Amino acid sequence: MRLVLATGNPGKLRELEALLSGRDIGIVTQSELGITSAAETGLTFLENAILKARHAASRAGLAAIADDSGLEVDALGGRPGVRSARYADDQGDAANNTRLLAELADVPAARRTARYRCVLVLLRSADDPAPLICEGTWEGRIAQTPAGDNGFGYDPLFLVGDLGLTAAQLSPQLKNQLSHRGQALRKLVAELDRARAGRGS
């Protein structure tokens, strides 16, 4: 199978390529094919993932994988959610983190629960009527101050379970084992393996 990865985010691209390495899957990125990123106009992670996958598949003439993901903070009613990457008006990760910390300034540690959510979509063609859809969530809390140099997005603020570390303090390998994106992609690979096994029987 040959796939186009429909993302322009270099952090997501590194994670997806690492998670798919070693599989019998040929991977090309949309940027390698000169395909620009789709406008993320959906109201949900699923809508945006399908928009991105359909955009890449139609221009590449290949099957496409796309994800949409973000951070949901309970004390903020689930924000930033689908606007995670654009939370500070498209000024980048540092500005997004600064805004998040400001909005949580008066929220005690016990109430700073949050999760990363990822919806991953595979379209076999641009007009695929039944895309494969897989989801992953990663529970954590928002730290008082950023820590760590790995990862991207809100990783320096995302405290992971009982580890006492932020996602940005984890090795890429451990992050891929635990993360929302890793969970979703492992489900997707399992679905592909089942489909191949069914065709071979």
**Residue 7, SS3?**
coil
The total of structural domains in the chain comes to 1
Question: Domain with 90 in it: what CATH number?
Answer: 3.90.950.10
Domain coverage including residue 192: 2-200
The model's pLDDT over 129-160, given as tens digits with 9 standing for 90+, comes to: 999 999 999 999 999 999 999 989 999 999 99
Pairing of strands 2-5, 26-29: parallel
Closest among 84, 178, 85 to 139, alpha carbons compared: 178
List the single range of 57-61, 99-103, 159-163 with lowest mean pLDDT.
Answer: 159-163
Confidence of residue 82 (pLDDT cuts 50, 70, 90): very high
The set of catalytic residues is: 68
Residue ranges with strand state E in 20-148: 26-29, 63-73, 113-123, 132-142
- Which pLDDT does position 146 carry in this prediction? 96
pTM: 0.88
